[in-house]
Amino acid sequence: MVDQAKLKELEKIAHRIRCDIIWTLAHAQSGHPGGSLSATDFGVALYFYAVKHDCKDCCWPERDRVVFSKGHASPLIFSLLAESGYIERDELKTFRQFGSRLQGHPNLECAGIEVGTGSLGQGLSIAVGMALGLRMDGKPNRVYCVMGDGENQEGSTWEAIMSAGHYKLDNLCAVLDSNRLQIDGWVEDVMGLQPIAEKWRAFRWHVIEIDGHDMAQCVEAFDQAKQVKGQPTVIIANTVKGKGVSWMEDVAEWHGKAPKPDRCRDALNELACPAEYFDF
Amino acid sequence: MTEKKAIATRDAYGEALVELAAEDERIVVLGADLTGSTRTLWFAQKYPDRFFDFGIAEQNMLNAAAGLSLVGKIPWVSTYAVFVAGRAWEQIRTTTCYSNLNVKIGGAHGGISVGPDGATHQALEDVAIMRVLPNMIVIVPADYHETKKAVAWACKHVGPVYVRFGREPVPVVTKPEDPFIMGKANLIHDGNDVTIANNGPTLREAMEAVEMLKEKGISARLLNIHTVKPIDRKAIAKAARETGAIVTVEEHQVMGGFGSAVAEAVVQTHPVPMRFIGIQDRFGESGTPEELFEEFGLTAKHIVAAVEEVLKAKNLTS
């Protein structure tokens, strides 16, 4: 059991990260808010609880690996890296701008990024290779892959799921940000995937389903995944796209569109972000 | 041409992997259900713990290789060139090449000489779609020795490499002591009237063409250019300047492949008339390699005809 103080700390970080995401988008006036806000809580549990890493040495061989298959959540990813100390928080202001290390979708220019992602359906395969390689060398490091639910529509994702089950990669943990929305609308309307948990189970994965906005559940899910032997684990995090900003919640329109500065101020006000976030 | 021992370049690849694996334990091999015909089975039998079959699922295999490279391995992925370069192209582009990862791609069954399997399995576009990718190096070895050197070189190089292999045995025409320098053409035969620039196992046809041209009183220079990318601009410019006409030879579509790479170098250095031996914007079909070489215009006789044609163009412009 995680103590309450740690949970409170993680929740505070998650709040700061949400402010960072809106602030980053306000400066860039471009980017993806919806899927960044939905993945924030388990993303924080991942970076500040589950993962072994060192912001002073991004190449530390003993680190766990995180592959953000949903690379479009770059406002979240870079905010997590800033909060971790890989980059200066001020650098978030350069997101998506010419010459910035913080590209529209993350690449290796930015410290703390393991591999360039953004083309959906690719990340889990990369994570499978990492997990195989680490296991070959007898290393205890774990590999995490953060995926969108929509990218379960990619055939290559199922190839990766199949191979991880086949190779019994218990050092691999996928987190599915199940916010149920994709650009064209509800996932179930665009190309239905339910029952998703049964599908992953049928491919020989251990499945944990959680409320992806409940920090205690997020933390416990990562703990539980570490105990699973002989098969990989997927945490299906049931989330709300745009979580934390009422008018973005469950609205597909906010998948890949940054709010105008006034709307960003509204969002920051609703989140009760500190005054320093209003500098645009 | 005197008959020499014939070995398929895929056999040399299979041998090379086994030999190199003994020297470097980082080498791992990934296959997609074609381990016998890609000759990676030899590696799999010798090093079962370092071989991973990914089943008939090439896209996943490519990115799993990317993941293996990110934890320090030197992965070779192998299947037929159509499937590895074609099916998994976007994985190669966006993951391996964009992040400049140390992934080695062995494309087997390149070219029309695949024979009876027909068009679906004859890769005629792979070189074009690989060479267009930033960070990618593209090599098509001509024979046994060149293949072994190319594979060994690729293992030492840090970054993505595509190496293409053929199914059919081809005469061993290079020597073990011949230099293999990535990006550098090898002068096989010197000449003044025209240059034949060859890429890959068609080298035997090009060599025969040189002999046939000699009998006609035409002095042809033969360059064997194993590396399509980066192309040897210097050797090509020199050949253009000194011989005034170039014919390229490849077992691949003439659009976008080796001939195009040579043409890009020629027009930017010393423009001269060119002709292109290769597949002329068609799909392949079933047949013996010999029948297909005849039908698709890849034999020594066709090279000679192209040389005669390019010489007419050269004489018109000079």
Say whether residue A65 is in contact with chain B using an 8 A CB cutoff.
Answer: yes
Nearest to A174 by CA among A206, A202, A145: A145
% of chain A surpassing 70 pLDDT: 100
Sign of torsion over alpha carbons A177, A183, A186, A190: negative
pLDDT digits 0-9 by tens, B39-52: 999 999 999 999 99
Model confidence at A1: pLDDT above 90: no
**Mean pLDDT along residues B192-212:** 98
* Equal fold, B6-171 vs B186-317: yes
Averaged over B150-173, what is the pLDDT? Answer: 97
Position with higher pLDDT, A246 vs B317? A246
* Average pLDDT of the residues of chain A: 97
CB atoms within 10 A of CB A184: 12
Backbone angles phi, psi at B22, to 5 degrees: -70, -30
Q: Report the pLDDT value the prediction gives residue B318, as an integer from 0 to 100.
A: 65
> What confidence score (pLDDT) does residue B2 get?
46
Specify whether domain A4-278 bears CATH 3.40.50.970: yes
Domain boundaries, chain B: 6-171, 186-317
Sheet holding B74-80, edge to edge: B51-53, B27-31, B74-80, B104-108, B161-164, B137-139, B227-229
Average pLDDT over residues B178-186: 97
On whether the CB atoms of residues A107 and A141 are closer than 8 A, the answer is no
Q: Which of residues 164-183 of A touch B (CB under 8 A)?
A: 166-167
| Separation between Cα atoms, residue A79 and residue B30, nearest integer Å | 36
Fold type of domain B6-171: Rossmann fold (3.40.50)
Domain ranges of chain A: 4-278
DSSP-assigned states of every residue in B259-280? HHHHHHHHHHH----EEEEEE-
B66 contacts in chain A (CB < 8 Å) = 115, 125-126, 129
Mutate to test the interface with A, among B27, B30, B51, B63 (most CBs of A within 10 A): B63
- One-letter amino acid at B95 equals T
Q: Which CATH architecture describes the domain B186-317?
A: 3-Layer(aba) Sandwich (3.40)
Cα gap A13→A1, rounded to integer Å: 19
Render pLDDT for B262-289 as a digit per residue (tens, 0 to 9): 999 999 999 999 999 999 999 999 999 9
In the annotation, is B58 catalytic?
A: yes
Pair of tokens at residue A128: 């499978």
How much is the average pLDDT of B27-49?
97
ipTM of the complex as predicted: 0.97
* Closest to B164 in 3D by CA, of B142, B185, B135, B188: B142
Tokens standing for A33?
A: 């808010």
Tell me, what's the pLDDT at A2?
83
Chain B residues with beta carbon closer than 8 angstroms to that of A115: 66-67, 70, 95, 99, 101
pLDDT > 50? residue B1? no
A18 close contact with B: CB closer than 8 A: no
For B316, the token pair is 């018109």
Task: Tell me what pLDDT residue B317 has.
Answer: 75
Q: Does residue B219 carry a pLDDT above 70?
A: yes
pLDDT at B165 over 90: yes
